[in-house]
Amino acid sequence: MDVQKIRNDFPILQRKVNGKPLVYFDNAATSQTPIQVIDTIVEYYNNYNANIHRGVHTLSQEATELYELARQKIQKHFNAAQAHEIIFTSGTTHSINIVSNGYAQILSKGDEVIVSALEHHSNIVPWQMMCEKTGAVLKVIPMNEDGVLIMEEYDQLLSNTTKLVFVNHVSNALGTVNPIEEIITKAHAVGAEVLIDGAQASPHIKADVQSLDVDYYVTSAHKLCGPTGVGMLYGKQSALNRLPPYQGGGEMIAEVTFEKTTYADLPHKFEAGTPNIAGGIGFGAALDYLNTIGMEEIAAYEEQLLKYATTALNNIPGVKIYGVAPQKTAVISFNVTGIHPYDIGSILDQLGIAVRTGHHCAQPIMDFYQIPGTVRASFSFYNTFQEIDSMVEALKKAIQMLQ
Ligand code: C6P
């Protein structure tokens, strides 16, 4: 992998922040966008901006064709059996809400659903809302000090009253890669469906939804070098057909009268209204970009970055890393004794280094460690070892100033 060449694809990496070269280590919040994706979006607006699935005119047909081609690229990337099993959404949060809203009409009092202790709020709150509506009971797979799920406890939680399990593939706060194959197999053995939140996995791991045999897999394009405001809900055809629509409106109908409306087939049943057309096409371009580099190459390089940064940070007195699972993506959450994460983040920003600080929308994880938050450095394939050195130097300066 030629990282220097790759960096030239990302115009934003050339800019300075506070007079210093930008070191962008907030990739888990959102990834940067290569020129190939930016150009694709600009080309859409310059050449064939039109509403899709509606017009007989050329522009509309071109836009429709490219939007549907993007759906096929997503299908291929995640190895879905059929293109209509890919629903375009505004992102992971929207995707989860489509399923949780559907489940609010499927479950009843006493049914059980299982979440993990490692979740982002997006994979907790919609389900709590669903449980409030239905009377279903939410159970939690606990984690250990290393940030690893305790699978024996999962075994105990599963029963024939379990209807759905929803777990992330990778934790956004700690980088833990969860054993989703085992989670899925065991859930299916008791007749439960499984939703996997792939928002943090998909930039690093290419999930094969058929071999995983997962019922729902969700992600956001902006985590994968694509635009914001677009994402996907993969669902097995049978699972999606069971769910009621989420929103009513144009495009999702077969026939409308004031007496009765019938819904369109998949995927349109879940795609009411004019979608983010440029975003969908940009999502496809982002997958093309990543696949040209190669997901395995990306993962191998990021693993080196992770190892290098972990060793360097562990050598700084007072640094404590949270989440030391054997299987991790390139995310490091840490604190320095006696210093608030926000203060470290602010000083790093003064030095041009972008990290995220706070609870990372994963408050239960922070509560587990009894901390208000962490500093999170998350790496991507366009980051370099030298940038990690810069962060380490900047962190040492910050510690000197703050301690
Ligand atoms: N995590 C982070 O800094 P949306 O906002 O819908 O694109 O993605 C929500 C989401 C869901 N699940 C996981 C595991 C996530 O990491 C995220 C987004 C960002 O960690 C922003 S809070």
**Going residue by residue through the chain (403 aa), what tens digit of pLDDT does each one get?**
999 999 999 999 999 999 999 999 999 999 999 999 999 999 999 999 999 998 799 999 999 999 999 999 999 999 999 999 999 999 999 999 999 999 999 999 999 999 999 999 999 999 999 999 999 999 999 999 999 999 999 999 999 999 999 999 999 999 999 999 999 999 999 999 999 999 999 999 999 999 999 999 999 999 999 999 999 999 999 999 999 999 999 989 999 999 999 999 999 999 999 999 999 999 999 999 999 999 999 999 999 999 999 999 999 999 999 999 999 999 999 999 999 999 999 999 999 999 999 999 999 999 999 999 999 999 999 999 999 999 999 999 999 999 8
Nearest-CA residue for atom 8 of ligand 1: 92
Which atom, in ligand 1's list, is nearest to the CA of 172?
16
361 assigned to active site? yes
The backbone torsions φ and ψ at residue 353, rounded to the nearest 5 degrees and listed phi first, read: -105, 120
The atom number, within ligand 1, closest to the CA of 168 reads 14
Distance CA 282, CA 94 (A): 18
Element (H, E) at 234: strand 231-235
106: DSSP letter? T
Q: Which of 243, 347, 361, 377 is catalytic?
A: 361
Cα separation of 375 and 328, whole Å?
A: 17
Residue 93 CA, ligand 1 centroid: distance in Å: 8
Q: Structurally, what CATH architecture does the domain formed by 3-30+295-402 represent?
A: Alpha-Beta Complex (3.90)
* Ligand 1 atom 19: residue of nearest CA: 29
Query: Which of 95, 121, 122 should be mutated for ligand 1, with most atoms under 8 A from CB?
Result: 122
Q: Establish whether residue 360 lines the binding site of ligand 1, counting it when its CB lies within 6 angstroms of any ligand atom.
A: yes
The finding on whether 356 has its CB within 6 A of some atom of ligand 1 is yes
Question: Among the atoms of ligand 1, which is closest to the Cα of residue 222?
Answer: 7
Q: Which of 7, 356, 52, 38 is nearest to 226 (CA)?
A: 38
- Identify each DSSP E strand in 18-83 by its residue range: 20-21, 23-24
Q: Where in the chain is the domain with CATH 3.40.640.10?
A: 38-292
Work out the burial of residue 31: count CB atoms within 10 Å of its CB; fewer than 13 is exposed, 13-18 middle, 19 or more buried.
buried
Ligand 1 geometric centre to CA of 119 (Å): 10
- Asked if the 38-292 domain carries CATH number 3.90.740.10, the reply is no
Assess whether the C-beta atom of 172 lies below 6 angstroms from ligand 1.
Answer: yes
Q: Which of 377, 335, 333, 325 is nearest to 116 (CA)?
A: 325
Residue 227 near residue 39, CB atoms below 8 Å? no
pLDDT at res. 65: 97
Using CA atoms, how far apart are residues 49 and 67, in angstroms rounded to an integer?
A: 11
Measured distance CA(160)–CA(217) in Å, rounded: 23
Q: Compute the radius of gyration of the chain from its Cα atoms.
A: 22
For residue 56, report the distance from its CA to the centre of ligand 1, in Å: 38
CA 238 to CA 40: how far, in whole Å?
34
Determine if ligand 1 sits within 6 Å of the CB of residue 29.
Answer: yes
Contacts of 285 by beta carbon, 8 Å cutoff, 6+ apart: 36, 37, 40, 41, 70, 226
DSSP letter for 244, please: P
What pLDDT, on the 0 to 100 scale, is given for residue 251? 87
State if residue 28 touches ligand 1 by the CB under 6 angstroms criterion: yes
Q: Quick one: which of 106, 87, 140 has its CA closest to 276?
A: 87
The answer to whether residues 178 and 169 touch, using CB atoms and an 8 Å cutoff, is yes
pLDDT for the residue 54: 81
pTM of the full structure: 0.98
d(CA 81, CA 79): 6
Q: Is the CB of 197 under 6 A from ligand 1?
A: yes
Range(s) within the chain of domains with CATH label 3.90.1150.10:
3-30+295-402
Query: Residue 86 forms beta bridges with which residues?
Result: 234
Closest of 332, 329, 321, 309 to residue 369, by C-alpha: 321
Determine the Cα–Cα distance for residues 146 and 123; give it in Å rounded to an integer.
21
Do 235 and 87 meet the contact criterion of CB atoms below 8 Å apart?
yes
The reported pLDDT for the residue numbered 295 is 98
Q: Is the CB of 361 under 6 A from ligand 1?
A: yes
Residue 260 alpha carbon to ligand 1 centre in Å:
38
Q: Which amino acid is at 64?
A: T
> What tokens does 169 get?
């593939």
